[in-house]
């Protein structure tokens, strides 16, 4: 795809502007894929198994094409705005980003989020046998076809919970790091966009936290013998939720394009 094709695609009125900025990237479960330009680009560029395999040269060639077009458009936009990209002090910019990253990592909510990542990993590592035994049990029940028992529904429910937990496990931390960075940039540079982006990213994190809480709660019903471990995870997530809501009081009111309002 060249720059002209990219610009023509961007003009398509079916796409919701900016919907991809504050989503959870779970395209398989999204009802807005046909109105998302990022999804359309991925479908166009990564349209076969080889192009989706990060170990395949085709993937990196196609990704490089996207970066090339993007860079070309950034340069054109900068020129129109009178910004000389060559005058940017890259070393100074790198040090600035390093300082921000350090402050981001010092935030209590980012520390709590990374603690959750480790706790969840530990739970999965420690309970591989438990999950395997449950799978075998449900498989046996399916084969036995016992009246009044619905092992298929139970298996689907457990699988759904595990997928939800794994999907948001790292994303919560990543989104909160972006939120923290935006808040810090807003305080130091007073550019309105940074606070806007911080609230939008925090809202995605909140959604991930709440969906994870729901999934762990459903798993608790399936594995009551894991009550202590799962309750510890739930306590961590609920504590994290309170921290995020305190740090970003306007996040819940943030209107995400498409998801919270149709454009």
| Separation CA 201–CA 205 (nearest Å) | 6
Residues spanned by the domain of 37: 3-87
Residues 189 and 142 in one domain: yes
Structure confidence by residue, pLDDT tens digits, 25-45: 999 999 999 999 888 887 766
pLDDT at residue 129 is higher than 70: yes
Average pLDDT over the chain, rounded to an integer: 88
Position 256 in a domain: no
Residues 146 and 42 in one domain: no
Structure confidence by residue, pLDDT tens digits, 210-249: 999 999 999 999 999 999 999 999 999 999 999 999 999 9
pLDDT at residue 51 is higher than 90: no
Of 87, 112, 144, the position where a domain reaches its end is 87
Indicate the pLDDT class of residue 86, thresholds 50, 70 and 90: confident
Of 87, 106, 139, the position where a domain reaches its end is 87
- The structural domain count of the chain equals 2
Please report which residue ranges of 31-107 form alpha helices under DSSP H.
Answer: 37-45, 57-80, 90-106
Structure confidence by residue, pLDDT tens digits, 145-190: 888 778 899 999 999 999 999 999 999 999 999 999 998 887 767 6
Position 226 in a domain: yes
Higher pLDDT, 55 or 218: 218
Residues 82 and 98 in one domain: no
Cβ-contact 175, 202 below 8 angstroms = yes
> Stretch 96-107: mean pLDDT, rounded?
91
Position 29 in a domain: yes
Residues 129 and 240 in one domain: yes
Residues 108 and 66 in one domain: no
Phi-psi region of 17 (alpha: psi -120 to 50; beta: other; left: phi over 0): beta
In the chain, % of residues over pLDDT 90: 59
């Amino acid at each position: 795809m060249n720059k002209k094709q990219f610009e023509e695609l961007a003009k398509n009125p079916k796409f919701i502007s900016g919907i991809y900025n504050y989503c959870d990237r779970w395209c398989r479960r999204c009802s807005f894929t046909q109105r998302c330009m990022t999804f359309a680009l991925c479908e166009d560029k990564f349209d076969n198994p080889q192009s989706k395999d990060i170990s395949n040269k085709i993937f990196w060639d196609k990704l490089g094409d996207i970066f090339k077009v993007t860079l070309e458009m950034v340069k054109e936009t900068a020129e129109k705005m009178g910004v000389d990209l060559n005058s940017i002090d890259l070393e100074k910019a790198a040090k600035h980003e390093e300082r921000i990253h350090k402050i981001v990592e010092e935030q209590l909510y980012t520390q709590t989020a990374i603690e959750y990542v480790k706790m969840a990993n530990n739970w999965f590592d420690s309970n591989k046998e438990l999950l395997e035994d449950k799978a075998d049990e449900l498989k046996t029940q399916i084969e036995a076809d016992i009246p009044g028992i619905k092992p298929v529904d139970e298996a689907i429910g457990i699988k759904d919970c595990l997928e939800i937990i794994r999907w948001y496990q790292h994303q919560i931390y990543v989104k909160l790091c972006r939120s923290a960075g935006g808040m810090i940039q807003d305080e130091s540079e007073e550019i309105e966009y940074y606070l806007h982006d911080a609230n939008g990213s925090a809202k995605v994190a909140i959604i991930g936290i709440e969906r994870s809480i729901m999934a762990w709660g459903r798993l608790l019903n399936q594995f009551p013998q894991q009550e202590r471990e799962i309750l510890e995870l739930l306590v961590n997530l609920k504590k994290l939720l309170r921290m995020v809501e305190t740090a970003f009081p306007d996040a819940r009111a943030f209107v995400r394009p498409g998801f919270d309002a149709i454009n």
